[in-house]
Structure 1
Amino acid sequence: LHALDVKLSPMARSLLLRRVGFLSLCLSTSTDALISSTVAQSVSSSSSRHNHPRLFQTVANNRHCSRDFTSMSSQAGPSDGDESNIGLGDIKPEENTKNNDNEESQIKTWRERIAISIAKSRKVRGGNYVQIATVDPSTNEPRCRTVVFRGFLPGSSSKDESCVMKMITDDRSSKVAEVSTHPEQAAELVWWFSKSSEQYRIRGKVQFVGGGKFDKDDDDFYVQARKQQWGNMSDMAREQFYWKEPGVPYTPQAEVPAGGRGEDGKVLAPPDNFLLMLLYPKRVDYLRLGDNFRQIDEIDDDEVFKPLRVNP
């Protein structure tokens, strides 16, 4: 640079040194020509051809290296003015830059949150699949399986009536015995929303309806809810309740009514082994992975959920 009598700004000098690192790979060109070519590009925006005739003569003789360098310049690191952007490719846009310390704006009940989560995932295939865990009374070991969430029970006797979660099961399945023998009839449901990266762990009491042996089997409200759920199911889903006992060695199925329908095409009454399974939440643990926000809702003596933000 001293030999060429060129004065560069600190920014131009920094850019020049980066570019020289690349140009040193051009072994077919002399070192002096490479440096001169690079200097020319660095100062061309601020220096005229008349001020540096010797420099531009060198550039004219080495146009091929200048073209090669220009085509690679987009691969260089950030400029001196862009240092704050280094590493941003590893950070999810916006989410980590938001201020999540405003607790009042963050706290909603789990029921409000899950309604939003459901709306966001309504078009996600399998988005209504949930996992429910029970305890095997003979071994005290956990048992978990996937079931289909079929909506909230409207108009139930619960004070927060929209919180009761509906599922179905077969009276002959192991989960019925596991829940029925538990002193609290307890189970825990996990619902993961992949689109919004949210998890709900919902613990509560399970109530079965159907078969004539459960507490709610004589309550018209629950009887009608069970009947309605049976009618809302697909033909294929109804057929499985006419199959042989689950979990025993396989044998070919006896003839079952197609689609759970009679000869006239109308849906038959639900068989005794078809159960409406209801989960009455008592405690909900919510986690949002986007910003590691977590809250726990617990039901109080007045059957009202009280949300509390906690550390993740």
Structure 2
Amino acid sequence: MDAAQKLPPWRPLLIAALKREGRLPGGRWVQLASLGIDGCPRVRTLVFRDWSAAATMDLLTDARSEKCLEIERTPEVELCWLFRKAREQFRLRGTARLIAPTGDVVALNQEWKRLSPPGRSVWAWPPPGDPFDPQGPWPQEVSDDSAMPEHLRLLRISLHRIEQLDLKPHPHVRRLWLSATQWQEQRINP
């Protein structure tokens, strides 16, 4: 993200909640809700990777998964990011875009290199959703010098609606920000 770019007012609150989570394993996990091909809602857990702009977040996904077809068909998604230790929840709504290596090989390669060898291993597994084959391959690690797989996709979500629910005070604090109002904060009932 460009350092000169002004952060929306909800970003420091989200960053503070993330910091309070510390190194808890689930601190970077977000739940992604999308519309399935069959018209039913689908929810999955993904790992937050980084911000590519002030209101644009990056995740990684596998092009072989159903979610990619769903997002191409209906790009509007919502994420729920629960910070248990901080006792805060953020709901982030936006438009998702899948970026293939041909679209931004530099950004994808950067994310690939940032993954740990065990983190890279899931990208060498068989396609998600296929029938299970115990023969695999199921590597536990993929080395640093391994080539980036063709099915790695950057899932870039341009956010336009953010809600925060702070469960610490009584009554709880719930805030809403919309990009259409230049992220003007609105307090709403919890």
In structure 1, the gaps of 5 or more residues are 1-107, 154-160
Following TM superposition, by how much is the alpha carbon of 1:309 offset from its aligned partner in structure 2, in angstroms?
A: 1.1
Q: Deviation string for 1:242-266 (max 9, x for gaps)? A: 222211111222486x8433xxxx5
Aligned mates of 2:85, 2:125 — CA distance in 1: 36
In structure 2, the gaps of 5 or more residues are 1-7
- Alignment counterpart, residue 173 of structure 1, candidates 61, 65, 69: 65
Aligned mates of 1:162, 1:270 — CA distance in 2: 27
1:143 aligns with 2:42: yes
Following TM superposition, by how much is the alpha carbon of 1:200 offset from its aligned partner in structure 2, in angstroms?
A: 0.3
1:286 aligns with 2:176: no
Aligned mates of 1:192, 1:254 — CA distance in 2: 33
Match of 1:197?
Answer: 87
1:188 aligns with 2:188: no
TM-score (norm 2): 0.86
Match of 2:98?
Answer: 208
Aligned mates of 1:147, 1:165 — CA distance in 2: 12
Q: Deviation string for 1:256-297 (max 9, x for gaps)? A: 6x8433xxxx52231110111111111011111122111110
Aligned mates of 1:211, 1:248 — CA distance in 2: 23
1:133 aligns with 2:11: no
Q: Which has the higher helix share?
A: 1
- Alignment counterpart, residue 297 of structure 1, candidates 162, 177, 181: 177
Following TM superposition, by how much is the alpha carbon of 1:239 offset from its aligned partner in structure 2, in angstroms?
A: 2.2
Helix, strand or coil at the partner of 2:146: coil
Aligned mates of 2:148, 2:24 — CA distance in 1: 30
Tell me which of the two structures has the higher relative contact order, counting C-alpha pairs closer than 8 angstroms and 6 or more residues apart: 2
Match of 2:55?
Answer: 163
1:253 aligns with 2:136: yes
Helix, strand or coil at the partner of 1:150: strand
TM-score (norm 1): 0.54
Helix, strand or coil at the partner of 1:151: strand
- Alignment counterpart, residue 235 of structure 1, candidates 92, 100, 117: 117
Following TM superposition, by how much is the alpha carbon of 1:141 offset from its aligned partner in structure 2, in angstroms?
A: 0.8
CA contact (8 A) 2:101 2:108 kept: no
Q: Supply the RMSD in Å over aligned alpha carbons.
A: 2.0
Match of 2:5?
Answer: none
Aligned mates of 1:243, 1:175 — CA distance in 2: 17
CA contact (8 A) 1:227 1:269 kept: no
- Taking a change above 3 Å as real, the CA distance of residues 241 and 124 of structure 1, as seen in their structure-2 partners, is closer
Q: Which has the higher strand share?
A: 2
Moved beyond 6 Å, runs of 4+: none
Bigger radius of gyration, 1 or 2?
1
> How much identity, in percent, do the aligned residues show?
28
Aligned mates of 1:124, 1:255 — CA distance in 2: 26
Q: Deviation string for 1:151-174 (max 9, x for gaps)? A: 222xxxxxxx23221211100111
1:110 aligns with 2:10: yes
- Taking a change above 3 Å as real, the CA distance of residues 295 and 247 of structure 1, as seen in their structure-2 partners, is same
CA contact (8 A) 1:130 1:149 kept: yes
Aligned mates of 1:248, 1:125 — CA distance in 2: 27
